[in-house]
Amino acid sequence: MVDLDKPVELKKREVVRKGLGELRRQGSVPAVIHNHGQQSIYVMAPELEMTNLYKAAGKHHPLNLQVGTNQYLALIKDAHFNPVKRRLQHVVFQAIKRDEKVEAEIPVNIVGEIPAEKVGLLILHQLDHVEVEALPANLPDELTIDGSRLAELYDKITVADLAVPEGVTILTDSEHPIASVVETKAQISEDEAEAEVAEGEEGEEVAEGADGGTTEEGEAESTETPTAESSKTK
């Protein structure tokens, strides 16, 4: 468990570009601290420590970085992973100020039971974080919403439904869906099959009605024709 209130010790590095591969093979993850328009600080830390730090802090929790005798308040701005092995390759920190608002990604979690799942419906998760703006001290670790709002088919939760703490402004579009209730593939296939059967039955009824009409008209014509001929004979 990472204690995010403790300073995170990072070592300065001289290795850049072509030497980064060897640095990673030695078990370290290279990182950089962007510092308010000043010269960036190139640092590194053991892979396990950096990976655990990213898992705990995400892109929303302010960190106290310790580089030698210097300290920096920062957020993780970006993290790059190996696309095949999914191992952390590089981290970008952004130095921030306590009295200036910052933008950050806050995780969104659905909590509690979701009634729709109990009746076999599928929950389509469409958004797992939102962009917010706030002072560093006001950044929440997560935003939650009650899963009971997803009870029936086509129910949905949007960004507008989130409870926002004081001092936090959500930048993500308020109408963006977070999750919605949809049918499973099996249910969709079943509905399609029922629709095809219904269409087939309707087609048969139309065909029968058309045949019956032709027969009646034919009979009417055959009845009228002899009558006309008999009147001429008379």
**DSSP character string of the chain:** ---TTS-EEEEE----GGGHHHHHHTTEEEEEEEETTEEEEEEEEEHHHHHHHHHHHTTTS-EEEEETTEEEEEEEEEEEE-TTT--EEEEEEEE--TTS-EEEEEEEEEES--HHHHTT-EEEE--SEEEEEE-GGG--S-EEEEGGG--STT-EEEGGGSPPPTT-EE-S-TT-EEEEEE--HHHHHHHHHHHHHHHHHHHHHHHHHHHHHHHHHHHHHHHHHHHHHHHHH-
- For the ranges 41-45, 119-123, 136-140, 190-194, the lowest mean pLDDT is seen at 190-194
pLDDT for the residue numbered 218: 43
For residue 159, pLDDT beyond 50 = yes
Specify the CATH superfamily of domain 104-182.
Ribosomal protein L25, C-terminal domain (2.170.120.20)
- Tokens at residue 56, please? 């705990």
Question: Residue ranges of the domains in the chain?
Answer: 8-96, 104-182
- Rounded CA-CA distance 136/67 in Å is 20
Rg (CA), the chain: 34
pLDDT for the residue numbered 11: 97
Q: Nearest CA to 157 among 194, 110, 191, 197?
A: 110
| Phi and psi torsions of 199, nearest 5° | -65, -40
Specify the CATH number of the domain 8-96. 2.40.240.10
Convert the pLDDT of each residue in 60-69 to its tens digit. 999 999 999 9
Convert the pLDDT of each residue in 75-111 to its tens digit. 999 999 999 999 999 999 999 999 999 999 999 999 9
The whole-number average pLDDT for the span 157-177 is 96
